[in-house]
Amino acid sequence: MRIHGGTSLTPGKKSPSKSSGRAGNMAETVGGKRSLPPIKNSPVTGMSGPPVPQDEYYGKAGRPFWSGSIAIGLVNVPVRLHTMVRDRSFSFRLLHRADGQPLKYDRVCSRDGVVVPWSDTVKGYEIRKGEFLVFEPDELKAAMPESDRKIRIDKFVYYLSLDPVYFESSYILVPDRSEDAYSLLVTALQELGRAAAGTITLRTKEYPVVVHVYDGALILTTLRHADEVTPPHAFALLPALPVPKEAELALAKRIITDLSGDFSINDYPDHYREAVLALIDKKLAGEKIVYEEPHPEEAKELMQALEETIATLAGK
Question: In this predicted model, what pLDDT tens digit does every residue of 35-69 receive, in sequence order?
Answer: 334 433 343 434 333 344 444 444 456 789 999 99
Neighbours of 210 (CB within 10 A): 22
pLDDT of residue 60: 57
Supply the pLDDT for residue 143. Answer: 81
Task: Please give the residue that has the higher pLDDT: either 110 or 298.
Answer: 110
CB atoms within 10 A of CB 110: 6
Residue 95 and residue 104 in contact, taking contact as beta carbons nearer than 8 Å: no
Mean pLDDT for 69-90 is: 91
Task: Give the residue-averaged pLDDT of 187-211.
Answer: 94
207 has a pLDDT exceeding 50:
yes
On the question of pLDDT at 10 being above 70, the answer is no
Look at strands 217-223 and 205-214 and give their pairing: antiparallel
Q: pTM to 2 decimals? A: 0.70
Is the pLDDT at 142 greater than 90, yes or no?
A: no
User: Is the CA virtual torsion 228, 234, 237, 241 positive or negative?
Assistant: positive
Q: What pLDDT score does 18 carry?
A: 38
Q: 67: helix, coil or strand?
A: strand
Please answer whether residues 173 and 218 qualify as being in contact, where contact means their C-beta atoms are separated by less than 8 angstroms: yes
Q: Exposed, middle or buried, 281 (CB in 10 Å: 0-12/13-18/19+)?
A: middle
**Beta strands at 150-158 and 131-135: parallel, antiparallel or unpaired:** unpaired
The CA distances from residue 249 to 239, 254, 300, 307, 315, in Å, are 19, 9, 17, 12, 21
Over residues 190-203, the mean pLDDT reads: 94
Q: Check residue 61 and give its pLDDT.
A: 62
pLDDT of residue 272: 85
User: What angle is formed at CA 312 by the lines to CA 311 and CA 314, rounded to 5 degrees?
Assistant: 65
Give residues with Cβ within 8 angstroms of 23, minimum separation 6.
Answer: 11, 12, 13, 14, 277
Determine the average pLDDT of the residues in 18-37: 36
Name the band, by pLDDT with cuts 50, 70 and 90, for residue 14: very low
82 has a pLDDT exceeding 90? yes
Judged by DSSP in three states, 92 sits in coil
CB contact at 8 A, 277 and 11: yes
The Cβ-side half-sphere exposure at 71, using a 13 Å CA radius, reads 13
pLDDT at 76 over 50: yes
